[in-house]
Chains A and B, each alone.
Chain A
Amino acid sequence: MELTQTEKRNYDLKFIGTGKEFFSIFIVNWLLTIVTLGIYYPWAKANRLEYIYGNTEFEKSRFKFHGTGLEMFKGLLIALAGLLVIFGMIMGLVYLFNSIFFVFLIYLVIFALIPFAIHGTLKYRMSRTTWRGIRFGYRGNRVELIQKFIGWAFLTVITFGIYGAWMTIKLRTYAVGNIKMGNAKFNFKGDGGTYLGLMLGGYLLSIITLGIYSFWWRRDLYAYHLENAWLEHDGNKINIKYTGKGSDFFVTDLLNILTIIFTLGFGTPWAEVRLLNLMINKIELYGNINFDNLEQTEQDYKDATGEDIGDMLNMDFGI
């Protein structure tokens, strides 16, 4: 394969959405959700995601979210039916053996659903996202992830949570490492010890400073996740740097709280856009990948069940 070793340079990434437009999405979604007694929810979610992805520009081309409300609605029905059957079976056991002991199975099921939801969400979201017509993709294996997840969780429990830092890093390494952008591949390399230090240090400093440090802590964690990831293509690389500061997080949060309170909550879209600006527009990309050469390699995947379970578990992956 021909290697295209190009000069290193900076790449453009920016969020171009506005609070006003996002407000319109929010209101129309709200109206339709009320009128349909909530059934519109998956469509509302698709509208929101389409707006956010469509207003994120990388190298002058916008991302596109192809997912539809119907797909997520179907996923929701499957997820609900599945959960109903599982919980029905558990309640059956409780009734049959007349023992409340079986209720603990519910916790086990919810726990087992986490890796299931992570897998499903990544697979669905990635395959339904394109940039210049090239699909993203997630190549992780569901069974493998569930096995690993159970192992990590076990270690976390027996180490009284300390292993949680390593678990986060390993999960991230696995998830990010399986994300593709056409024939370009994402990677993540982090260190559990460093991450534990970040967690403990941030926690202690936040307490000592009566919470003030928490903004800098959040910045550090966000930056750690980004800066240890990179994109690879044809032997070329792009590295990520996050230039946002703790003070930016502080100011953004403060303004957002004021916005929400003084608009009686209806200014939330402006607050969300302000946060997206902070999260996206302060990302610096530097490297030598030639983005004219990405090839379509990823399959379409329209099953949103995992995505919907993730939604039910209130998980947000920030992608």
Chain B
Amino acid sequence: MIVKGEATYFDGLTSKATETFVSFDSSAQTFSILLEENTLSWNTSLCTIQITKGKLEVHLNSDTQYFESLDPKFAEIVTKTSPTIKSKNVFHRLMHAGFKVHLSILGFIIALSVVMIFFVLPYVAENSVVLIPKSFDDQIGEYAYNDMILTETIDERKSKLVQSFADKMELQNQKKMRFTVVESPIVNAFALPNGDVVIYTGILDQMKDYSELAALIGHEVSHVTYRHSMKALSRNLSTYVFISAILGDINGVITILWQNAAQLQTLSYSRKLEEEADNMGLSIIQKNQINPRGFVDLFETLNTNSSLDLPEFLSSHPVTSSRIKSMKKQAKGSKFVINKELQGLFLQIKSQN
């Protein structure tokens, strides 16, 4: 089929527009541009053909000559019968797929990202922690310990007492545990991946029975044994890298939005780790034949002292009634004896005030 259309030709030497006719032979895939002195013949394989907003432009490759046509019929037949326009490259083929497909691609990438961020990455990151050498836990823990301890006042006597208290317990620990009591009204304690546990005097002051201290120690030791810090770190890092890689080039706003969404996920993960530490802590307590009621009391202490009443999904340390309830249920029926030795040490810790 041969079609003919009005066109404007530019010779690539001057900007002069030449109004002319171009015919297109669809079987030979050739354009014939009628000029005063001669007729140019361009095969489509030598051209870049594009149609934007009703204007067909045919550029001769590696050259500045081209013609354009606003003739809709001509443009339609050229685009329909010229294979080069469709098979150019992946980008053009995808562009031709249309707005709906592009919206679907967006939906698909978002869905895939959600699956990656909320399901795949956490799983992979958590399980790849075994690949991180344990010496890394020591390094990072020591670094964090030295960094924070600089500005704190250590209670040496209580630290020693808590240390011997813990040493008397069967902790099922793989790392050597070192306990430090820091003077502070904060009602809390935390464990570092190298086996350092920092306990604030604030929480010791609130305790009424040695079983509470045993529960606290059991809980913190479990964090270290299960490498919880490393798991959380690995998860956060992988999510951060993934989000930056996928969204980094798009827009700052969107990256921040996604990272906040992922942050909520991280908090729920922290809760899972706390639960895990509770469970293992309880089994340590039971093994040491200590009253598991200590856990319940410890939680109630923490609960009354939490200044903020955050909804559960926003809090990482939810000493909520749900945690207390589950602990009560699990503690039911476990046997315990009074451990005079631990009780004595506990009284010494309390007596110093």
Question: Of A26, A31, A265, which contacts B253 at CB under 8 A?
Answer: A265
Q: How far is the CA of A61 from the CA of B64 in the complex (A)?
A: 14
Give the chain A neighbours of B255 by CB distance below 8 A. Answer: 265
Give the chain A neighbours of B257 by CB distance below 8 A. Answer: 264-265
Within 8 A of B (CB), among A28-45: 28-34, 38, 41, 43
Decide: A296 and B14 in contact? CB cutoff 8 A.
yes
B156 at the interface (CB under 8 A from A): no
User: Given known contacts A54-B52, A55-B52, A266-B254, is B12 in contact with A133 (CB within 8 Å)?
Assistant: yes
Give the chain B neighbours of A199 by CB distance below 8 A. Answer: none
Give the chain B neighbours of A29 by CB distance below 8 A. Answer: 91
> Count of chain B residues with Cβ under 8 Å from any Cβ of A?
38
A288 at the interface (CB under 8 A from B): no
Decide: A296 and B95 in contact? CB cutoff 8 A.
no
Q: How far is the CA of A260 from the CA of B253 in the complex (A)?
A: 8
Chain B 34-78, CB-CB to A under 8 Å as 1, else 0, gives: 000000000000000010110101010000111010000000000
Give the chain B neighbours of A62 by CB distance below 8 A. Answer: 52, 55, 57
A27 at the interface (CB under 8 A from B): yes
How many Å from the CB of A280 to the closest CB on chain B?
16
How many Å from the CB of B120 to the closest CB on chain A?
15
Q: How far is the CA of A32 from the CA of B105 in the complex (A)?
A: 11
A120 at the interface (CB under 8 A from B): no
How many Å from the CB of B143 to the closest CB on chain A?
22
Chain B 174-202, CB-CB to A under 8 Å as 1, else 0, gives: 00000000000000000000000000000
B250 at the interface (CB under 8 A from A): yes
Chain B 257-286, CB-CB to A under 8 Å as 1, else 0, gives: 100000000000000000000000000000
Most buried by A among B64, B245, B250: B64
Q: How far is the CA of A131 from the CA of B255 in the complex (A)?
A: 38
Most buried by B among A24, A62, A134: A24
B94 at the interface (CB under 8 A from A): yes
Give the chain A neighbours of B15 by CB distance below 8 A. Answer: 131-134, 182, 291-295
Q: How far is the CA of A37 from the CA of B86 in the complex (A)?
A: 25
A268 at the interface (CB under 8 A from B): yes
B155 at the interface (CB under 8 A from A): no
Give the chain A neighbours of B338 by CB distance below 8 A. Answer: none
Q: How far is the CA of A29 from the CA of B249 in the complex (A)?
A: 11
Give the chain A neighbours of B150 by CB distance below 8 A. Answer: none
Q: How far is the CA of A4 from the CA of B59 in the complex (A)?
A: 30
Give the chain B neighbours of A27 by CB distance below 8 A. Answer: 102-103, 105-106
Q: How far is the CA of A291 from the CA of B57 in the complex (A)?
A: 20
Q: How far is the CA of A33 from the CA of B245 in the complex (A)?
A: 10
A207 at the interface (CB under 8 A from B): no
Within 8 A of A (CB), among B89-121: 90-91, 94-95, 99, 102-103, 105-106, 109
Known interface pairs A30-B250, A295-B14; 16 further A-B residue pairs with C-beta atoms within 8 A, sorted by A's residue number = A27-B105, A31-B109, A32-B94, A38-B245, A41-B249, A62-B55, A131-B15, A133-B11, A133-B15, A134-B14, A264-B253, A264-B254, A265-B250, A268-B254, A291-B15, A296-B14
